[in-house]
Structure 1
Amino acid sequence: MSFPESRPCTTFPRSENLRPPDKQINPGSQMQNVLGQPERSSDHSQNSDLNLRQSNKTDGDNHATYKRAADSDNARNKRHVTQFLKESSPWTSYKRFAALGPSETTLLAVAWNPITSIVAVKEHRVLDAKSLRELIPTSHVNIVKLKDAYYWSGRCFLGYERMHISLEQLCACNTIEDIHIATICRETLSGLLYICNELKASYTTTLYDNIFLTDTGIVKIGNVGRSMISTPSAKQEGQNDAVGKLILRMAQPGVTFKNPDEYKLRYPERWSKDLVEFHRATGAVSVTDLHKGL
Structure 2
Amino acid sequence: MERKHALSSVTHLRRPGGVASDGPGDRRAEQARTRVRLMIEITARAGAYRKGLVAAARRLSPEEAAILSDLERHGLQVPQLHDVLCGGHVLVDEPRLYEDWRFAEVSHERLSSHHRDIDKALYPDIGMRGYVVREKLHGRTAQGTWVQLEKTPAAFGGRKLPSVSDLRHLMDYVVYRITRSNVGPWGLSRMTERRPLYLSPSLAVPTSLTPPVARVLTQALRRIEESDDATAVSADLAARFPPPDREDLTGELGQSLSGRAGRGLFGNSEVWVTETLSRSAAAVLRESRVPPAVPLLQPGGRS
TM-score, normalised with respect to structure 1: 0.23
TM-score, normalised with respect to structure 2: 0.22
